[in-house]
Structure 1
Amino acid sequence: MKKRWTSILSIGALTMSLLVAGCGGQSSSAENPTPGSGAATKGTLEQIKERGVLIVASSNDVPFAYIDKDTKEFTGIDAEIIKEVATRLGIPKVEMKEVKFENMLIEMNNKNVDMVTDGMYVKPEREKIANFTHRWYKQGEGLIVRKDSDIKGLDDLSDKVVGAQKGTTFLEYLEQLQKEGKIKEVKVFGSQAELLLATNTQKVDAVVTDSATAAFTIKKDPTLNLKLVSPYTPHFDGVIAAAVRKDDQDLLDAVNAEIDKLKEEGFILKVLEKYGLSEDNMMPVE
């Protein structure tokens, strides 16, 4: 008798569990989809299209990928490029998740975001844990001078006073050039804002600093009578692309195809120019 009642109870429990699973077992994940969730047979790109949102990681980094304080919109160089890519892939929305820069690839590989799009340099150590798309653009240091300056490059600095920011690789580089007699004097400043102001007020003849950030600042602030020397070949030249997970080949291929088209059509160059960069920063179609 005990065995009989045990069997009946077991059958009843099994029936109830099947009913629960059939009626509502997957409702939570369907209502709150996350990157990487969905049927195992579906590729990441298909899952993103079904979700209708591409989730990207950024450290809220101006001018690359950030939330505009006034419009509350996701904007910046990388933001505008990935939003256009998403539109062309049939994905109506791109959502930025703010993540510390050093943790972005970790968050992506943990499937908390789909991609990383935040002015990230392609480096061998990063390529070990992520795939990178075709290169979007390049940027390194820029040589900034007043608009009326006749300085055309580093070769013109032997009798000039040049500024750099404390603690940067650029400062070390300029100090080495000074030792070699290629720069008259190097002055040190605490921030990039101080650097640009010093150039604007003629306290120094030129400064060397991050080109993208300087270009954006000059573009946004009409009181700065400054320009980036162009053409200019950076000594520290970083190549920028978006990162995807190693096993998301479908997403990588789709994004690469659109990036090549955006280069050919001149879209990426227009975005770079909008933020104060130029054709010097372009990368060829791969």
Structure 2
Amino acid sequence: MEEAAGERSNLAGVQHILLVLSGKGGVGKSTISTQLALALRHSGKKLIDCSDLIFGIGFEAKVGILDADLCGPSVPRMFRVQDSDVHQCNSGWVPVFVGQDKNISLMSIAFLLEKPDDAVVWRGPKKNALIKQFVADVAWGDLDFLIVDTPPGTSDEHISTVEALRPYKPLGAILVTTPQAVSVGDVRRELTFCKKTGLKVLGIVENMSGFVCPHCSECTNIFSKGGGEELAKHAGVPFLGCVPLDPQLSQSLEEGKDFIQEFPKSAAFPALAHIAQQVLDGTWQQSS
């Protein structure tokens, strides 16, 4: 009972929980998670209170990211906070905040490792215990969105994450794929995972969808084309959009820059903004 009470208090201020999933590694789940967080922060929010209709646009939303990829934590590096330390408070771990406004907060195993190159050589039960601890013992405070960046696959860590979050009724999952058939096939299995665990699929994102030349604007489909959209149609779930390979996006991730704010004229910007807007619209519809 004490553990359940602790979980309720730490997630009580979190309005909406989203999971980012893919059956395959290397498709850009962490990239989509970080950019979605930035886009949602800048887009404002649409929420419904228990008694009053709240419609707010033009201010920054508060977004948290839980990096549940225990063996390959990369989100802290993408925000350039990988050298930060996690501190304790009365209700548990205090997440690491990004920037002076503190509107984005992170929790990752990367903050708990003695050395950045340490490998997490753990069996399933120890991983599952840490995931449950992340859900129960991180003092997120008030958040409009909590984005959970998951590892590839459909195994123990995913089951533990979904089960730990189930009492808080997550909005659902965003599935990330690349256009080629091998990636789409793995995401089909992730759709089955969502169905079996009762997790709603908010939509599919096709990442690395063509390369737009910054000089001539010609699009080259390096990894085939249209696999994510075709899968969404076949599965009867929304297709959220295509995110092209973009050198400016890679640069922002390497340098820890806010891509949404600094590169509004890039090829990937409208795609990421459109995805975030659809998440906001879906949040509004589901709340109402």
Same fold (TM over 0.5): no
* Structure of higher CA gyration radius: 1
Q: TM-score, normalised by structure 2?
A: 0.31
| Higher RCO (CA 8 Å, separation ≥ 6 residues) | 2
| Higher strand residue share | 2
